Amino acid sequence: MRRLAALIPLLMAGVMPTIAVEALVTATPVTSFGNAAIGQQVDRMVFRGGIAMTSPDDTFGGLSGLTMTGPNHQALFVTDRGNFVTGHLLYDDANALFGYIGVTVEPMRNSKGDVLPRQYAKDAESVDTIYRAGEPIGVRVGFEHLTRVADYTLTNGIPGGAAREVPIPDWLTDARTNETLESVCIAPPASPVAGSTLLIAEEMLDQADNHRAYLLGQNDKGELSYQNSPVVNPTECTFLPNGDLLVLERGISMLSFVMNLRRVPAAEVRAGNLMVGELLLTATGGSIDNMESLTVHTAPDGELRVLIGSDNNFNDWQRSLLLEFALVD
């Protein structure tokens, strides 16, 4: 009650909270994907279930990027309004996802430690975890509109503090629209470009009409590209432990959302190359929404799983879905 009373003056003044707040999230199980039930194969994946998340807290929504940041399935989202959303995924006795608990929403800050001042600077679209000696120490966040990449320190799996901006190519920073940087992911130790950060642009195309991309790294650095496909654009990337790259694609066709998931072999992620992805999963219609977030993690039973989430754009008619799959091979 005291928390609500403290928030009312801020909301009436049109100011978002400047400290972390708790958000109650209700999760409704998703038990089918198209014609597949939990445990059944869909294309090159196996559907493992999911949840549809809702919250009475107005700060919960716009979930655009996802990564794992700590033990006990600690999961972090970044949002369109410049917030970190942190909580823990819950699994039932059958190892199916059924909840997201202990959720906090905290505003991101700029390099001075101040809350991001305006919406133009807040549009976070992607996030990945930075590891040192196998331990998560920070997160790397990609923004569009005011296009940039920034690092934040992790404390007990929760990011915070002042941003540390990461230098990126001028062709990205100079393009200040909502069609720039949608995908940021860090290569794992098994990758030929281990430790490098891959950036993939949403609608910035090269002379061959493929999506421009860039590798940030000590030894592996430079431009590359990602093959363009009709209807869809890349909206997030993540690496598998073996170094293969997963790319989530999203588009709209006949007034319905379209989603593809593709895998690029590890050896193809290198400067100067055109990355071409093998299609693992495709969907449209009511099984999906505006799918924008992607990560991989280990389920309670030890299985490697792929999490794909949707951005509801803070609209009542859209959903915040979190769907889970396993690779067939």
* 248 within domain boundaries: yes
d(CA 142, CA 166): 10
Q: Which structure tokens are listed for 45?
A: 């994946």
* pLDDT, tens only, 112-125: 999 999 999 999 99
In a domain, residue 160? The reply is yes
| Residue 218, pLDDT score | 85
Residue 229 placed within a domain: yes
Evaluated on CA atoms 84, 226, 281, 314, the torsion sign reads: positive
Task: Examine residue 6 and state whether it is found in any structural domain, yes or no.
Answer: no
193 residue type, one letter: V
Does residue 236 fall inside a structural domain?
yes
Where residue 68 sits, what CATH number does that domain have? 2.120.10
Name residue 260's beta-bridge partners: 249, 282
Would you say residue 54 lies in a domain?
A: yes
- Spacing of C-alpha 293 from chain mean position: 3
Write the CA distances from 257 to 19, 232, 233, 289, integer angstroms.
34, 9, 12, 6
Q: Any residues with CB less than 8 A from the CB of 172 and at least 6 apart, and which?
A: 147, 180, 181, 199, 201, 204, 214
SS3 of residue 221 by DSSP: coil
What is the domain extent for residue 81?
21-327
Residue 11 lies in a domain: no
pLDDT at 103: 98
Our count of domains for the chain comes to: 1
Per-residue pLDDT reduced to its tens digit, 189-244: 999 999 999 999 999 999 999 999 999 998 899 999 999 999 999 999 999 999 99
**Are 200 and 226 in contact, with CB atoms under 8 Å apart?**
yes
pLDDT tens digit sequence for 259-268: 999 999 999 9
What is the structure's pLDDT at 14?
A: 38
Q: What is the pTM of this model?
A: 0.93
Residue 7 lies in a domain: no
